[in-house]
Amino acid sequence: MVHYHLRRGGVTRVIESAREVLSAKGDAVAVLTGEAPMPGAKTDGVRIVPALNYRRTGSTVVAESLAEQMRKEATEALGDPPDLWHFHNPTLAKNVLLPSVVRELASQGERVVLQIHDFSEDGRPGNYTSQRSFFDSQANFEETLYPTAKQIHYATINRRDHDFLRAAGIPAANLHVIPNAIPDLAVKTSPQDRPFSQGKLFAFYPTRGIRRKNVGEILLLALIYGDRVDFATSMRPENPEWQEMHDEWGRLAEELELPVRLGLADEGGHPFFDLLGWSDFIVTTSIAEGFGLAYLEPWIVGKPVMGRDLPEITRDFEANGISLDNLYRRIDVPVDWLDQTELAAAIESMLRRSYLAYDSPLPRSAVKQTLKAWIHKGRIDFGVLGEPFQMAILRKLRADPTLLDQIAIPPLALYTEREIADRRELIRRVYSLENYGKRLDEVYDRVLLGPVGKVGHLPTRKVLAQFLNPARLNLLRNG
């Protein structure tokens, strides 16, 4: 298994789950990574290859040398040459050498799984540009970023990404979905124990308050439900630029006297898992997710989830019989509350920057397409708007609470203990470590027993087209 690092996070958790189930059945597993694991992490079979860490420069010669070094390290760790290579996020362009490394190994007949957790095409133009500039020409970029061959298989963590890659041209036989396993959490507190929010409900948003987490919508929910519910998020952003925006939201919450505390776990007085246990329910207002752990994990500790639905993510859970009926898809407000000229200008600016960042021509009707996707019967979703528009709406509603009658109030319904227990057991069963291991085995068998062929490529533009769509863009994520 290969990844840039083993820092705390979703990809590291996936690697640990895979290593656990594979080792339990007797498979030898080596993990190649660019830096030492976090203190206390498992180090069995871990080999440090510094050239795997984040990097934006290099050459194809360096990539070929890295491939040889990786083969040497893996062979020493396993005692024999590896049967299969499992790369995590190799196309994300955090290390511009990796696509060339994958192509080099596959060209020598190595069997490879490329598991995509995140896409550089999905709102990460800086990554995409770094990868493109690594190559001498656009042709090399096209031929290397998404290599294809009978011995190269792609895996995604959700059905949406699977469908995007299939539409871009990856053969169905070489494309798989490997959903994450959901672990149990060590939560020992309960709402009865909490030292605050007496006489009210407490809603916890376990997130780092980056832009795509849509912090302004938490303030809107607090404005709607604040007489009955206190709200809090867990952490501030790490990016200084985003911290400034996050602090603006904190000042607005104080100005409007809303029952919201941002970055509560960062304040030091309340550990994260205590806050999780003290909550009556979990809330999410995110406008973009990968696997969608935020929709499932809370139920494991007996906490229902309310908030914004992302159908392209939650459809996987619905397909497994997990009903998430306490979610909303939009919070509609009258579009005439906004200055139409400013809105159109913000959309055009966002579109131009997004397409320019990916070196793509802007469609002639892009602004109209975006407005058509966003506005339904004279109403626009609060979640597609940038911070200045959201702040203006919040001030307007606070100044005249009767205007709340003109917006779509999202549902807030708690669940019985029986309903919570039923969902908890279903999630535990569907997303168990045992089922994860079975799915991993199925994919590996397909790769190991399949043929080997010549290495080709998937045109990068076909993948980019799945994401760079005016109707999919958002002022919070792309503005």
| pLDDT tens, residue by residue, 309-351 | 999 999 999 999 999 989 999 999 999 999 999 999 999 999 9
Read off the DSSP letter of residue 358.
T
Residue 452 falls in which region: left (phi positive, over 0), alpha (psi -120 to 50) or beta:
beta
Interatomic CA distance for residues 66 and 71, integer angstroms: 9
Q: In which band, very low, low, confident or very high, does the pLDDT at 424 lie, cut at 50, 70 and 90?
A: very high
Whether 137 shows a pLDDT value over 80: the answer reads: no
Measured N-to-C along each axis, helices 215-225 and 240-255 cross at an angle, to the nearest 10 degrees, of 10
Q: Is the dihedral of CA 130, 135, 139, 144 positive or negative?
A: negative
Q: What is the pLDDT of residue 316?
A: 97
- Residue 56: pLDDT band (50, 70, 90) is confident
Q: Domains along the chain?
A: 2-181+433-464 (3.40.50.2000), 183-329+409-431 (3.40.50.2000), 332-407 (no CATH)
Question: Has residue 82 got a pLDDT over 90?
Answer: yes
Nearest by Cα to 1 from 24, 34, 26, 50: 34
Which pLDDT belongs to residue 143?
84
Strands 46-48 and 31-33: parallel
